[in-house]
Amino acid sequence: MAEPLFLTDLILALVLAIAGGLLGRRAGRSQAQPAPQQGEARRSPLVLYVTAAVVAARLAVAVLLLATSGWQLVTHRFLLGLPVVVLPLAWALLRRTAVAAHTTAMGAWLSFFFLYVPPGPQDLPVAAGASALVLATTIGASLLLGDRRSRGGRLARLPWLSGAAAMVTAAALGSLFLVSGSPTTDWGGGPERAGHSVHAMGHGHGAGASAMRSVDALTGPRDGTPDARFTLTAAHGAVRLSSGRAVDALTFNGTSPGPELRVTQGQLVEVTLVNKNVTEGVTLHWHGVDVPNAEDGVPGVTQNAVGPGGRHVYRFVPDRTGTYWYHTHRDAERSVERGLFGALIVEDGQQGVQHNVFTHLWPGGEDQIGAFGTTDSAERRAVPAGRQVVLRLINSSKEPHRILLGGTPFRVTAHDGNPIGEPGELKPGTDLLLAAGGRYDVAFTMPDGVVTLRLDTSEIPNEAALAFSPDGRAAPAALEQGDLFDRLSYGEPTGPEPEGGPYDRDFDLVLDNGFGFGFGGGSFTYTDTINGRLSPAVPTLMVREGDRVRMRITARGIIDHPMHLHGHRIRVISRNGEAVTGSTWWTDTLNVAPGESYEIDFSADNPGVWMDHCHNFEHAESGMVMHVAYDDVTTPYHGPAH
């Protein structure tokens, strides 16, 4: 419901800006006319009524958003974007003066501006003050303009109103980025590091209470013989898909997906990364595993990227079982798409025939190629009837994927590596929406017939399908979209209740689409923002070890954002104000769809400087990245993380 309303409001705001411009132009012309003609103009306010109709439509959209999605989605509209035009419009409808019309026109522009360049929650007071200044200047300029025109002369023909409004609007725009937050982030360490200028989105802790620690000191065990030892060699190579198409890929040990790493909880794991010839550099990030900070594989934050001919050793002890995966975190938008990823399974006791199934979009020239791993066509697999089957579904692409499963009832036994208590049986044809970077474990008992798994990517036609049957000969069935699986009420709470409040830290994060400053590239472009900012201008969220942290994440834009916090498991408390009633919803990659608002919490129990970013790597590369940093940890590394 929210996404079409957002799109409708964007269109209405653009129409409003045009109508406001026409209204201001008409008001300017009427001021230049003799008094009798000014009176005649006031008796024909068609453009004013059009402006009022568009404003009324925008108000209706805002009320619908409020009714369907809640206050978090419309805060900036009701507190800023609509008042700046509604109040002047009411004045213009009552008085129909040129000054009121000019003010309404500028209010329409401001309302358009704040929807297309959305301010973060922390910007609302500054933006409101700047708007009041713009409207006051508009009133003053229009009065001055009317007075000079009544006296005639060269000065009367100068664009006083537009010039003054442009200057004040520019000043307002600058104030949003200069007053409300620093445009740079310096991870160089020391008492002046960026964490200490964090914006007041949460209350502050005094830093310096304990000795500073470097990321380099927060390693896995350095001593002892590893229980599991692997070497992963990154190199250029070719991957052949089941259809016969070849992909110019990047591989681990000559394959993609890379080798499955299967380990046991509590084991000391050692992985040596070797970069043979990947010029962009490579790291290994252990997605969903809460490794020590130095093992997290984020270049520019926890290590330097490994260049061609180099190597890096990771050592960690996984403390939870489940389905995880590894991927490079250097130039991730392109390098993961081209193949630098693989499965990491921490033995969880699930029995039966197990398949790791990556949902992936391979580069294919102008169009991407949808596949299950390297299966981009129909593939048949034999599974004896009566056997238990476990599909470990992993989304290694940047978009959420809809997965269709038909032919048998099934259960979702784990989500992002976290077991689901008392998972109920889902009817055949229930669809799964898998977040980018997310995982579902799906279990069923093999029937006598065929079980079909299909990848439904509406924008990218594909033939990817897996058909399981007792003899391995059955073709995949045609499947239509069904009802979506809803994690909110699935399963039953088991064990003790997780720790909740009181909370030591509270943060509000608003995800928007709009024009913003890309400080990394110095551009001003339509993009995806966090609290109106792009990295590295997104303020760091500072915590202290032992804190209980609560976040509210709201998506006001028109695109899904799979938010992934490194190094911590988060708990979902509610979605759009509705509390989780099923099994405790633990996750590490939360897909926040348009119009959704989540309340989550986590324990600050893993010291370090941690990335918190959209796992759509295209969004992350354009600046949808921030950090959660402990107040006594710094890092010596610099450079781009993606």
Hey, what are 403's tokens? 């997965």
Residue 186 lies in a domain: no
Domain closes at, from 318, 349, 380: 349
Quote the pLDDT of residue 205: 43
Nearest to 588 by CA among 438, 424, 444: 438
Q: Kindly give, in sequence order, each residue whose CB lies less than 8 Å from that of residue 314, ignoring residues fewer than 6 positions away.
A: 220, 269, 270, 271, 272, 273, 284, 286, 291, 295, 297
Torsion region of 407: left, alpha or beta (phi above 0 gives left; psi -120 to 50 gives alpha): left
Is the CB of residue 335 less than 8 Å from the CB of residue 309? no
Hey, what are 93's tokens? 């409808």
Tell me the CATH number at 462. 2.60.40.420
Residue 374 lies in a domain: yes
CA dihedral 288, 292, 294, 296 (to 10 degrees): 0
Residue 433 lies in a domain: yes
Q: What is the pLDDT of residues 411-420, one digit of tens each?
A: 999 999 999 9
Quote the pLDDT of residue 88: 87
Angle between helices 124-151 and 83-95 (to 10 degrees): 30
DSSP string, 212-261: -EEGGGS-S--SS--SEEEEEEEEEEEEE-TTS-EEEEEEETTBSSEEEE
- 69 with 33, same domain: the answer is yes
- 40 with 170, same domain: the answer is yes
Quote the pLDDT of residue 165: 56
Residue 363 lies in a domain: yes
Domain of residue 625 covers 194-211+495-634
Angle between helices 83-95 and 2-32 (to 10 degrees): 40
Q: For the chain, what is the mean pLDDT?
A: 85
Taking the model in full, what pTM does it have? 0.86
Q: Is the pLDDT of residue 178 over 50?
A: no
Residue found under tokens 């290694």: 396
Q: Is the pLDDT of residue 220 over 80?
A: yes
Quote the pLDDT of residue 129: 82
- 552 with 587, same domain: the answer is yes
Taking CA 101 as the corner, what is the angle to CA 97 and CA 104, rounded to the nearest 5 degrees?
A: 140
CA distance linking residue 442 with residue 432, whole number of Å: 10
Domain closes at, from 314, 349, 384: 349
- 317 with 235, same domain: the answer is yes
Is the CB of residue 509 less than 8 Å from the CB of residue 502? no
Nearest to 227 by CA among 196, 182, 267: 267
Q: Which of 27-31, 41-45, 421-425 has the lowest mean pLDDT?
A: 41-45
- 360 with 332, same domain: the answer is no
Counting residues of the chain whose pLDDT is more than 90, the rounded percentage is 59
Q: What is the pLDDT of residues 577-627, one digit of tens each?
A: 999 999 999 999 999 999 999 999 999 999 999 999 999 998 988 889 999
How many domains does the structure of the chain reveal? 4
Nearest to 617 by CA among 343, 251, 329, 359: 329
Quote the pLDDT of residue 152: 47
- 477 with 507, same domain: the answer is no
Is the CB of residue 273 less than 8 Å from the CB of residue 306? yes
Q: Is the pLDDT of residue 345 over 70?
A: yes
CA distance linking residue 108 with residue 323, whole number of Å: 51
Domain closes at, from 349, 373, 392: 349
Nearest to 608 by CA among 629, 578, 626: 629
CA distance linking residue 508 with residue 617, whole number of Å: 22
Q: What pLDDT band is residue 160 in, cutting at 50, 70 and 90?
A: very low
Dmax over CA atoms of the chain, in Å, equals 96
Counting residues of the chain whose pLDDT is more than 70, the rounded percentage is 84
CA distance linking residue 468 with residue 217, whole number of Å: 48
Nearest to 436 by CA among 480, 397, 392: 397
Q: Please, which residues bridge with residue 454 across strands?
A: 404, 465
CA distance linking residue 576 with residue 579, whole number of Å: 8
Residue 537 lies in a domain: yes
Residue 409 lies in a domain: yes
- 536 with 628, same domain: the answer is yes
Is the CB of residue 459 less than 8 Å from the CB of residue 402? no
The 3-state DSSP class for residue 269 equals: strand
Is the CB of residue 226 less than 8 Å from the CB of residue 317? no
Q: Which of 195-204, 334-343, 498-507 has the lowest mean pLDDT?
A: 195-204
Residue 185 lies in a domain: no
- 165 with 199, same domain: the answer is no
Residue 189 lies in a domain: no
Residue found under tokens 């110095």: 522
Burial of 427 (0-12, 13-18, 19+ CB in 10 A): exposed
- 15 with 109, same domain: the answer is yes
- 342 with 362, same domain: the answer is no
- 435 with 403, same domain: the answer is yes
- 25 with 86, same domain: the answer is yes
Residue scoring higher pLDDT (459 or 70)? 70
Sign of the C-alpha dihedral computed for residues 328, 332, 338 and 341 taken in this order: positive
Q: Please, which residues bridge with residue 353 across strands?
A: 389
Q: What is the pLDDT of residues 77-103, one digit of tens each?
A: 888 888 988 998 898 888 877 788 888
Rounded to 5 degrees, φ, ψ at 274 are -120, 130
